[in-house]
Amino acid sequence: MIEAQIHMWLVFLFIAVAMYAFASEKIGLEISSVAVISGLLLLFYVYPLVDSYGNLLLTPREILAGLADPALITVLSLLVVGQGIVRTGALEKPIRVLITLRRHHPVLAIGVVLTTVMFISAFMNNTPVVVIFIPLMTALAERLHRPTSTLMIPLSYASILGGMTTLIGSSTNLLVSAAAVKAGQPAIEFFDISVPGAVLAITGLVYALVVIPKLLPDREAVTDGSAPISGKQFIVQMQISADSPLVGEEAIAGQFPSLRNITIRFIQREEKLLLPPFDDMVLRPGDSVVFAGTRKSLTDAFSDNPQIMSDFHNIEESLESETNATQTSKDQTLAEVVIAPASRMIGRALHQINFHYRTECVVLGIQRRSRMIRTSRMTDIRLEAGDVLLLLGSRNNVMRLRNNPDVLLLEYSTRELPALALARRARFIFGAVIVCAATGAVPIVVAAVAGATAIVASGCLNIYQAGRAIDRRIVLLIWAALALGTAMQATGGATFIAHALVSMLDGAHVAVILSFFFLLVAFFTNILSNNATAVLFTPVGIGIAKTLGIDPMIFVFATIFAANCSFATPMGYQTNLLVMGPGHYRFMDFFKAGAPLVILLWIVFSIFAPLYYGLL
């Protein structure tokens, strides 16, 4: 008994040190996580935990088992599936529908998304729901000119809040119901928790919409270590081919619908120079369109109508250009290069340097940093040192420009264009994963792994892109958290604290004990996994209720709500880990945003539950 208590206190020490290391970030999160696992292995090897017969109660296999935990495998697989959705631009159409709401108010658009997430999460597992909406939320943030770091945590929280309103909303709810039945209590019905769950969910949603964006920092500029893309304009030229989707398009109020947010300088039609305004003008094959546009407006045009990229290749009038464009249609990358000071390209126009023949990249636009270029066509501009070329090519060809002495590749500027030709394929795979997981046809881990495999096998992602979708911080953080949870259960630490709470509150009103029980479970769900906390505290709550002589189901419901309050740490729930990378969050960001939410829900529950359950 004494030895078990020593192990318990040593595990408490490990948890305290780990939480400090994760929060301070003085040491890298990866190193801290591995150090926790290594420390636990050493502790229980040098000072093993054994029962009265000398049998090991905690082995290295059990400490390390978290790496194969279905929750971890599910998260990693769904990250790959979600990246496939992003890579193929499969959610562009839903995004445009939501963007129309910004005309009224940006908060309305965000509120609609979060409310939708919360509602869907009430009826299906919230992990795939978050995977669906991560790319949508990223694009929404970009269109609304808001940093993604202010939206990703609210997305995760909305899914968790929705999950506490019905029996099937979260795996935590089902585990608590099963543990209650095992302890001799009746099974929880589908809507038994809906009323108090809805009160907590709506409170949390208002907090996520109004307060959280003000608490989170703007980390938009540190995406994957890259710098923000310039908003300066490029001079761009394209030749309308006979099979171009722009043929027959008519200008409306001086703008062509497929070239929105782009300023057309002039159109050269045979020997005529057509100047704005272009009201009622119809584009014809052979027209040479010269315009000024930012990189963002060009990317939007490609996303809306990817076929127009062939019109840029026609400028070079090269068979090789057209062939290469077809071969790399699924692997297109935009990048910027600067003309080097001693470049052989200085003083020469594009048609004189055979740029595509030498690099297999197509020049889409030219930008002169010192002044706006006022010349006629892009192909007639004589290049100067410091000019920026906007290029389109395969990733391999773009990366080869690192060794080109004539240009300097701005690596932070490289962005892969969505492979829209594969969007339908990605949507089908993604839909199959969601349907299988939501209906229970197969376990979610099976559906997720199969979906990730299909995304790669179908060509929606290559191995390199799939590997980049997996954040090693997520892997190691979950691994360390699961190892701590295993050690804590084996040493009896959580049970010790629960019984200490009951003893401390001996003689207090039942509403006070229920309130503090909620707070205790909410605390542990942010350290252990929510599922482990739910299973551990359900019998403890039932025992407390029987001691107090009240309906045990009240404490069972309190366990469900409190175990779902996993907002204050990234390892509190897997949806927090899903948004950690896209939102560029640190450990303390979750604490700043989530700890007040936990306190808020605790206060609301402490006031509402005694009234609702008639404890006063």
- What is the per-residue pLDDT across 477-521, written as a single tens digit (0 to 9) for each? 778 877 887 787 788 876 777 677 778 887 789 999 999 999 999
Question: Quick one: average pLDDT of 452-459?
Answer: 91
Query: pLDDT at position 355, please?
Result: 82
Q: At what angle do helices 587-612 and 552-563 cross, to 10 degrees?
A: 160
Cβ within 8 Å of residue 568, ≥6 positions away: 526, 590, 591, 594, 595, 597, 598
Q: Which contacts qualify for 350-354: CB closer than 8 Å, 24 or more apart?
A: 350/378, 350/379, 350/381, 350/383, 351/379, 353/383
Flag whether pLDDT at 257 surpasses 80.
Answer: no
**Is pLDDT larger for residue 591 or for residue 51?**
591
Q: What is the DSSP string of 120-187?
A: HHTTS-HHHHHHHHHHHHHHHHHHTT--GGGTHHHHHHHHHHHHTSSGGG-HHHHHHHHHHHHTTPPP
Query: pLDDT at position 372, please?
Result: 58
CB 525 within 8 A of CB 558: no
Please give the structure tokens belonging to residue 187. 């099974």
Of the ranges 351-355, 405-409, 414-418, which is most confident?
A: 405-409
Query: pLDDT at position 255, please?
Result: 75
Average pLDDT taken over every residue of the chain: 81
In three-state secondary structure terms, 319 is: helix
- Beta strands (DSSP E) in 233-309 are 233-239, 263-269, 272-274, 288-294
CATH class of the region 331-417: alpha beta
pTM score of the predicted model: 0.65
Flag whether pLDDT at 102 surpasses 60.
Answer: no
Query: Can you give the C-alpha Rg of the chain in angstroms?
Result: 29
Flag whether pLDDT at 6 surpasses 60.
Answer: yes
CB 172 within 8 A of CB 536: no
Residue 376 pLDDT level (bands cut at 50, 70, 90): low
Query: pLDDT at position 327, please?
Result: 42
Residue 105 pLDDT level (bands cut at 50, 70, 90): low
Measured CA distances, 431 to 144, 421, 438, 445 (Å):
27, 17, 10, 15
CB 574 within 8 A of CB 121: no
The whole-angstrom separation of Cα 111 and Cα 89 is 23
Flag whether pLDDT at 176 surpasses 60.
Answer: yes
Q: In what order do the strands lie in the sheet with 272-274?
A: 272-274, 263-269, 288-294, 233-239, 362-367, 388-394, 332-339, 407-416
Our measurement of the distance from residue 546's CA atom to the centroid of its chain's CA atoms, rounded to an integer in Å, reads 43
**Is pLDDT larger for residue 483 or for residue 562?**
562
Query: pLDDT at position 153, please?
Result: 94
The whole-angstrom separation of Cα 125 and Cα 440 is 10
Flag whether pLDDT at 318 surpasses 70.
Answer: no
The whole-angstrom separation of Cα 538 and Cα 553 is 10
Domain ranges in the chain?
8-222+472-612, 331-417
